Amino acid sequence: MKKPNILLITSDQQHWNTIGAFNPEIRTPNLDRIVREGTTFDRAYCPNPTCTPSRASIITGMYPSQHGAWTLGTKLLEDRHTVGEDFKQAGYRTGLIGKAHFQPLASTEEFPSLEAYPILQDLEFWKNYKDGFYGFDDVELARNHTNEAHIGQHYALWMEEKGCHNWRDYFLPPTGTMDRDQTYRWPIPEEYHYNTWIAERTNALLEQYHENDESFFLWSSFFDPHPEYLVPEPWDTMYNPDELTIPEMVPGEHDRNPPHFAKTQEEHPDFSDLQETGFGIHGYRSHHYYEYGSRPRLTGFDKKKLVAVYYGMISMMDKYIGRILDKLDELGIADNTIVVFTTDHGHFFGQHGLQAKGGFHYEDLIKLPFIVRYPGQVPAGKRSGAIQSLVDLAPTFLSLCDLPVPYAMTGVDQKKVWLGEAAQARSHAICEFRHEPTTIHQKTYVDERYKITVYYNQTYGEIFDLHEDPGELNNLWDDPAHATLKTELLLKYAWAELGKEPMPMPRISGA
């Protein structure tokens, strides 16, 4: 019998509660379809709330502290083993369409990057690029979110092939000419949007693999709803801002939190004590302002409108996810294809007074939408509270295809949980955030009920009771009444760290 195919579909920076099946304020008919036809896991977590570390964990089955791509601006070193290599060895075709972000926008002699300037925008290079990329045979890449100047690679080539020779009009200087003050509505025609490109090129590969009777591991990697908050019409006005629930900070909720939480609510906070490498540190700023661009202070209207546009970005992406799902049906391969939809990390749009992301390990940022469909194998229409992590994807994909899991992978094989044969495969998840070598370095342990966050060389921290305090408003770290709980959780966290150490081979002898 032919081995199953794997189709991984990811968004970028999507809040866990933005699927229409569970949130009536947003419309996602195609994601809802996967929900009906598969199992939704309500307790899925990222191993790091930024792009490069989490994405590298997806393909290595290891934590950022293990695979080495520990923060933005680093790279996954080319000598790291990836799951694509395992699938290739087993005779699969492997493909990646869309966002990779395994490498930084800068390049050095010691650490060269294919996703860096100037090669990023050398279209002749990408037109002739035939090499594999981290275990993927078929690679078509882009690097920009919405109108960022980082536009280039295969996406720019595709726009030119489609006749969009003025594509620079839709992107920021110095690459393009778009007005930096343009908000919410992205003037790019939908036919040239990267959602269209990702769906079209994904479907072309699906057709190719089907025609050649090849099993495949294919990652369709979307860029939205990562800000800047821009989407083509009519998606920018799909939602009425006044009809949406806009999260807000509860007064006093940061009084018992580590100091960087409250500083985000200041007009001009000073985070210079945390600056170590000299590069930007996500989230350590005033959250009364946009993170992206030199925009004025967020008004009450802005806070509503950005949520409306964020939802519009998700709904537009959903349309093109639907085109990919339809192609599976059209080719008659849906029943033998494992489809997983998730994202790389979450997002703040007002929760706890925060915007975007940073060193704040609330559920809004580290919990993920996570749906698995495999007709006749994974239970349909089911919701599960079994804890998942993105580091589990690689070993679970291999296990479902009856392929050996490399010993060095530290993710957990979730096969029996996905198939409904076991209640859980892990008792906890670990989320790491190391954004500077020493000054911003934290880890979070979360189990069925509790969450604890510890900081390198700091005596402050966080403990939340997710049953009694699901909004994470009452930090129990310094509460004398919970001193015993704190001790227990610190011990469990230490055990979890010991338990995730890699073992590249089994013990095969007494000495």
**Tokens 């089955």, residue?**
61
Q: Give CA separation, 86 vs 20, 60, 82, 122, in Å.
A: 35, 10, 7, 31
Give average pLDDT by consecutive 10-residue segment, the chain, 511 residues. 93 98 98 98 98 98 98 97 98 98 96 96 95 96 97 98 97 96 96 98 98 98 97 98 96 97 96 94 91 76 96 98 98 98 98 96 98 98 98 98 98 98 98 97 98 98 98 98 98 98 95 96
**By the 8 A CB rule, do 473 and 479 touch?**
no
Structure tokens at 357: 């992301």
For residue 326, give the nearest of 316, 337, 315 by alpha carbon: 337
Residue 1 is predicted with a pLDDT of 66
Give the span between the Cα atoms of 96 and 136, in whole angstroms.
Answer: 6
Q: Give CA separation, 275 vs 14, 19, 44, 258, 379, in Å.
A: 28, 37, 31, 17, 48
**By the 8 A CB rule, do 321 and 9 touch?**
yes
For residue 6, give the nearest of 320, 398, 402 by alpha carbon: 398
Residue 274 is predicted with a pLDDT of 95
Structure tokens at 380: 């349909």
> Using N-to-C axis directions, what is the helix angle for 29-37 and 300-331, rounded to 10°?
50
**By the 8 A CB rule, do 68 and 52 touch?**
no
Residue 211 is predicted with a pLDDT of 98
**By the 8 A CB rule, do 53 and 45 touch?**
no
Question: What DSSP string describes 58-73?
Answer: HHHSS-HHHHS--STT
In 3-state terms the chain splits into helix, strand, coil percentages (rounded to 5) of 30, 15, 50
| Alpha carbon 242 to chain centroid, angstroms | 28
For residue 348, give the nearest of 367, 364, 368, 370 by alpha carbon: 364
**By the 8 A CB rule, do 140 and 97 touch?**
yes
Structure tokens at 259: 């100091």
Residue 2 is predicted with a pLDDT of 85
Measure the N-to-C terminal CA separation of the chain; round to a whole number of Å. 42
Structure tokens at 71: 């923060």
Task: Provide Rg for the chain, Cα atoms.
Answer: 22
